[in-house]
Amino acid sequence: MLKNTIKSLTLAAMLSGAAVSAMAADYKIRATANSNENDEDYDGLVVFKNYVEAASNGAIEVELFIGTQLCSNGAECLQGVADGTVDVYISTSGGASGIFPYVQVLDLPYLMADDRIAESVLSGDFTRKMRAMALEDSDNSIRLMTIGNTGGWRNFANTKRRVAEPADMAGLKIRTVVADLPQELVKALGASPTPIPWPELFTSFQTGVVEGSKNGITDIMGMKFPDAGLQYVTLDGHAYMGALWWMNNEKFMGMPEDMRQVVNDGFYALQQATFASPKRKSIAAYEEFVAGGGDLYVPTPEQKAAFKEAASPVYDWFKSNVGRGEEVFTALTEAVAAAEADVSAARSADLN
């Protein structure tokens, strides 16, 4: 009798909860990522959905669309955000550069030394500065909510030889996207930039059309590039792979302040999840790469300084050729300097 009573009460509670959940959503957020469920972007969205729906007590419902269900590329998806057909979208800096060219500042090499510096910078006023710029340039339609990570750090990898210093890059055909900044970087280091579509890269390694790339280790292993001959990875960490999370500003501002706070805190939780996810996934990826005979090289501090010096002309190119480039470059370098000072002081305090 007692068991039956408990079962009845439990079933009633479940049905009641389902009914409340179905009726209580006052706001609906349609979020999309042009990736898959193995990606850091998906990890972040799951955390965001769980937090927002729970913290709003069901007043906000988050719908996830993974892949190309709502839109297929950066330009189309950001137009969707501006129009309100997409509420939340995640892009790389390259994916957003057609509309906001200055976001490519995140691709400038060797400005942020490690995860701790990068995470400090992207959690502070630099992101608010880029938010203000994007709102201004989109007539207040596209709001930058946060910047997380998608894939760790970009490193140089190739099929030919160990790259320990800039001179070792000479003559290598390095795959880039069709964008000026990465091509300028590759040229500054003495290599030859070769734009190749991502789906064609595996075959291009096999045939020698390209001999190297600049990717994170999870992308390298996920695409099985070692099977195509990619056997040398240099952990130069030239760029933190930033993930820009955009939201329709009208949707955000149309919520009452308490619900905006929930969404804002949800993006904080999402950011922390995407900071953490690549660290965990990269461990297995590096182990797999080495186990398969891959050569993994960590440059000395002196060698990293040489890479930065060789790449430095790209900074002037960016400031001179990208709209609002000098403005955003100054904002980033000032944020990096402040983060370095704060982290250095914290490290010193923790050692004593």
In a domain, residue 258? The reply is yes
For 4-34, the pLDDT digits (tens) are 443 443 344 444 344 444 557 999 999 999 9
Q: Which pLDDT score is estimated for 74?
A: 87
Q: Which residues of 252-282 are buried (b: 16+ CB within 10 A; e: fewer)?
A: beebeeebeebbeebbebbbbbbbbbbeebb
Q: Which pLDDT score is estimated for 277?
A: 93
Instruction: CATH number of the domain at 300, please.
Output: 3.40.190.170
For 82-141, the pLDDT digits (tens) are 999 999 999 999 889 999 999 999 999 999 999 999 999 999 999 999 999 999 999 999
Q: Which pLDDT score is estimated for 9?
A: 39
CA dist 184 and 71 (Å) reads: 30
Longest CA pairwise span in the chain (Å)? 81
Is residue 231 within 8 Å of residue 294, measured between CB atoms? Answer: yes
Tell me the residue length of the chain.
Answer: 352
In a domain, residue 295? The reply is yes
Domain count within the chain: 1
Q: Which residues of 67-88 are buried (b: 16+ CB within 10 A; e: fewer)?
A: eeebbeebeebbbbbbeeebbb
Alpha carbon 350 to chain centroid, angstroms: 30
- What's the domain range around 280? 26-351
Is residue 152 within 8 Å of residue 217, measured between CB atoms? Answer: yes
**Could you report how far apart the first and last alpha carbons of the chain are, in Å?**
64
Is residue 245 within 8 Å of residue 29, measured between CB atoms? Answer: no
Which residues, at least 6 apart from 320, have a Cβ–Cβ distance to it below 8 Å? Answer: none
Q: Which pLDDT score is estimated for 23?
A: 58
Q: Which helix (H) or strand (E) holds 254?
A: none
In a domain, residue 6? The reply is no
SS (H, E, C) 9-56: HHHHHHHHHHHHHHHHCCEEEEEEECCCCCCHHHHHHHHHHHHHHHHC
Q: Which pLDDT score is estimated for 158?
A: 97
For 187-245, the pLDDT digits (tens) are 999 999 999 898 899 999 999 999 999 999 999 999 999 999 999 999 999 999 999 99
Q: Which pLDDT score is estimated for 264?
A: 98
Q: Phi and psi of 86, rounded to 5°?
A: -125, 130
Instruction: Please name which of 241, 242, 261, 239 lies closest in space to residue 252, comparing C-alpha atoms.
Output: 261
For 161-183, the pLDDT digits (tens) are 999 999 999 999 999 987 889 99
The predicted model gives 329-337 an average pLDDT of 98
For 33-84, the pLDDT digits (tens) are 998 888 889 999 999 999 999 999 999 999 999 998 899 888 999 999 999 9
Rounded to the nearest 5 degrees, what angle is found at the Cα of 208, between the Cα atoms of 202 and 212? 65
Q: Which pLDDT score is estimated for 4?
A: 47
In a domain, residue 21? The reply is no
In a domain, residue 195? The reply is yes
In a domain, residue 285? The reply is yes
Q: Which pLDDT score is estimated for 16?
A: 38
In a domain, residue 97? The reply is yes
For 281-312, the pLDDT digits (tens) are 999 999 999 999 999 999 999 999 999 999 99
Is residue 190 within 8 Å of residue 170, measured between CB atoms? Answer: yes
From its phi and psi, is residue 152 left (phi > 0), alpha (psi between -120 and 50) or beta?
Answer: left
